[in-house]
Amino acid sequence: MALKVGIVGLPNVGKSTLFNAVSTSAKAQASNYRFCTIEPNEALVDVPDERLVKLEELVNPNKVIPTQIEVVDIAGLVKGASQGEGLGNKFLGNIREVDAIIHVIRCFEDENVLRDEGAINPVSDKEIIDYELQLKDLESIEKKVKRIGKMARVGGDAKMKFELDVVEKCEAWLKQGKNVRELELSKEELPAIADMFLLTVKPTLYVANVDEASMHTGNKFSETLQKVADAEGAQMIVLCNNIEADISEMEDPDDKAMFFEDYGMKEAGLDKLLRSAYTLLNLKTYFTAGVQEVRAWTIQEGWTAPQAAGVIHTDFERGFIKAEVMSYADFTKYGSEQACREVGRLRIEGKEYIVKDGDLMHFRFNV
C-alpha cells in the first residue's frame, strides 16, 4: 500500500533537486527559473530499514523487498495560486491527491538562484504556501456550508446540524490563519470534513534546505523555521539538497563511505527524510521472512492481523484463521523461526490482535 507524499514549495527552493536525490527510477528537470516543473514527476522510493539487512543475514533469501512510498514533485506555487496565479489550480489539484506533504523551504543565500520574494525569509515563505492552501480550503468549506446549511438550520436534520457545526468550526479556525491539521477534532467529527479533501488537513514535514556549511548545524534561517514548526507541532529536518543529490549519484559503496567520512555523515539525510515521511503517515512495518523472500509490508498504525494479511492478498483477510507471530527482537536473538518456536517465542494470534511494528508473521487462511 504505497502511499503518496508530495514535495511542495515556492519556485527555486530545491524541490526538484530533492526529488532527484530521493528517486532512482525517475529524474526531474532542475533549473534556475520559475515553473521548471509543470507536470508532476512521480517515483516509487524504497524506505530504508536496517532491520531488513539483519533479516537477510539470518534467512539468506533469494530476494529482499523493502516497503515503498510514492513521491511526487509538484510545480512551484506562487502568491495568488488559489485565484489561479501561476500554475495555481494545477498545483492545488496535485496536492489534493497526496496523503502527506513535504514542504521544502529555502534556508540559504545564493545570489545566483532566482528569488522573487525579496530577502530570504523562511517563515514568510511558509506562510505564503499556508495562506494559499487555507484560501482554497475556505472555498471548499463555503460551498459545503451553502449546500447543507438550509437542511441543518431549517430542516432540523440532526446529522446535517452536527456536520455544519464541525465545518463552521474549521472555517473559524482557518480565518485565524491556522491549518486544519492543528485543530483538535474527534473521531466523530472527522467524517464531517472528509468529503471536502481539505489541503491543510494533510500531515506536513518541513525540510529546511540549507547550504553546505550549515548541513550539520543549521543556520539562522533554519533555526527560525524550527521555532515555527515546533509551535505548530510539526516535524522539521535540515538538509543540503545539493549534497544529497551528489550522494544519490554514487553507485560505489566505497566512494559513498569515503564521501560520508569527508563530510562527517553517518548516513544520507534522505534516509532520515524517508523514515520521517513514513512515520508522518502513521505507518508501521511488519515482515514476512522465508527462503524465497524477506519482505517488508506497510500497514496503518492500529491495524488488526486480518487487515495486515489483506495487504498481501484480499483472500488472506477474507479467509483469515490465525497468525503465527514473532517479534523482530526475538527472531534476531534466537536466529530462526524454528528456534523461536522451540523456546516458546512464536505466538498464535487471532482476529483481534493489533499488529506491532517489526512483527514477523505467517498467516493461516481458508477461502
333 is in an annotated binding site: no
Return the CATH number of 302-365, one of 3.40.50.300, 3.30.540.10, 3.10.20.30, 3.40.50.720: 3.10.20.30
25 is in an annotated binding site: no
Residue 363 has pLDDT above 90, yes or no: yes
327 is in an annotated binding site: no
- Residue 27 pLDDT grade (very low, low, confident, very high; cuts 50, 70, 90): very low
Residue 26 has pLDDT above 50, yes or no: no
Q: What was the pLDDT predicted at 110?
A: 86
- Residue 329 pLDDT grade (very low, low, confident, very high; cuts 50, 70, 90): very high
17 is in an annotated binding site: yes
Q: Tell me how far apart the alpha carbons of residues 326 and 347 are, in angstroms, rounded to a whole number.
A: 6
> Higher-confidence residue: 9 or 63?
63
Instruction: Determine the Cα angle at 19 with ends 227 and 216, to 5°.
Output: 45
Burial class (CB in 10 A: 0-12, 13-18, 19+), 158: exposed
15 is in an annotated binding site: yes
240-258 confidence digits (pLDDT tens): 999 998 898 888 989 989 9
16 is in an annotated binding site: yes
Q: What was the pLDDT predicted at 83?
A: 56
Share of the chain above pLDDT 90, in %: 61
Domains of the chain, residue spans: 4-48+64-116+202-279, 130-194, 302-365
DSSP reduced 3-state for 188 = coil
Please give the CATH superfamily to which domain 4-48+64-116+202-279 belongs.
P-loop containing nucleotide triphosphate hydrolases (3.40.50.300)
- Calculate the CA 342 to chain-centre distance: 40
pTM summary value: 0.85
- Calculate the CA 131 to chain-centre distance: 21
Return the CATH number of 130-194, one of 3.40.30.10, 3.10.20.30, 3.40.50.10440, 1.10.150.300: 1.10.150.300
Q: Phi, psi (5° rounding) for residue 53? A: -65, -45
